Amino acid sequence: MKAARVNRFGPPDVISIADIPIPPPGEQDVLVRVCACGVGPWDALVRTGKSGLQQTLPLTLGSEVSGIVERVGDRTTSFAVGDEVFGGTNRSFVDGYAEYAVTAEKMITKMPAALSHIQAAALPVVAVTAWQMLFDHAQSREGQTVVVHGGAGNVGGFALQFARRQKLFVIATIHGGDADYVRNLGAEQVIDTKTQDFSDFARCADVVIDTVGGNTQDRLFTLAKPGGIVVSVVARPNERLAEQLGVRSDYFIVDVNTSQLAKIAGMFEAKQLAIPVGSVLPLSEARAAHEMLAGSRTHAPGKIVLAVEG
């Protein structure tokens, strides 16, 4: 089969398309004939060796797939050959950019008829991450105020939609030019970090969701009310600063799972969720997709997806 591989960590040009054997599924795995795979910032972290997870080279990039079940493991009971499914690949966040991918049974779910493979591949990691940030880790509840830092990003876009649906007051940060976009996804107030200072919004939020990290992360603590929480999936927050300001902090790596995937798919089927898909490229252009992630090549707003022929 064809797969997008890296033999060494580095920039996008380390990605090449190679012919490798189709992998067999383990006892509790599913072999999926891939129709589409999502492309996200965590894939770039894997590519550069900065994921924080144990990665063995050479490897196939990619952690989000949609496709059709080709084989099932001997102890797999939830899926059958021919089922259309989508979800994550494995806990190492690899092996998805390929014509066939082995997925853990507990990390995928069946696709509703209303969902296309391109849309499905844009969901798993980003949507489940947003859900877990808001409700599993921040334990947000109706009536609270949440700031979504990076509201125009892929995780941020789903966080905005989930928060608004759960009747939270939603504030999104942007970096110029995306105000209408985030309002359409659920933001009731917008902070443009190019023109506005966080000090104008001090202590405004019960929950702050960090999808950006970097130099702005410490400043996010000033947005949280005493006793509030800053949750990040980008970098571990400054616990000492959090303690000084009387704010809680949390950091985690997403746990893609069947139950939450099914819940999110049901929201889409009920027309309660938009899936912003951006540029769609063939698998053979995986390197170009990572150039888009790196900002050296432009792409349409929304999730980058690789379509797999066959």
Q: Tell me the C-alpha distance between 277 and 120, whole Å.
A: 10
Mapped to the 3 state alphabet, what secondary structure does 70-81 carry? EEECCCCCCCCC
- The continuous run of DSSP H or E covering 208 comes out as strand 205-210
Task: Count other C-beta atoms under 10 Å from residue 31's C-beta.
Answer: 22
Q: What is the pLDDT of residues 220-249, one digit of tens each?
A: 999 999 999 999 999 999 999 999 999 999
CATH for 126-251 (2.102.10.10, 2.40.50.100, 3.40.50.80, 3.40.50.720): 3.40.50.720
Domain with CATH 3.90.180.10 in the chain: 2-123+275-307
Residues 6+ apart with CB under 8 A from 295: none
* pTM for the predicted model, two decimal places: 0.95
Contact 261, 111 (CB under 8 A): no
Residue 310 pLDDT class (50, 70, 90 cuts): low
Q: How far apart are the first and last CA of the chain?
A: 11
Q: Tell me the C-alpha distance between 138 and 179, whole Å.
A: 25
Q: What is the pLDDT of residues 186-233, one digit of tens each?
A: 999 999 999 998 889 999 999 999 999 888 899 999 999 999 999 999
Fold (CATH) for 2-123+275-307: Quinone Oxidoreductase; Chain A, domain 1 (3.90.180)
Q: Tell me the C-alpha distance between 197 and 66, whole Å.
A: 41
Domain with CATH 3.40.50.720 in the chain: 126-251
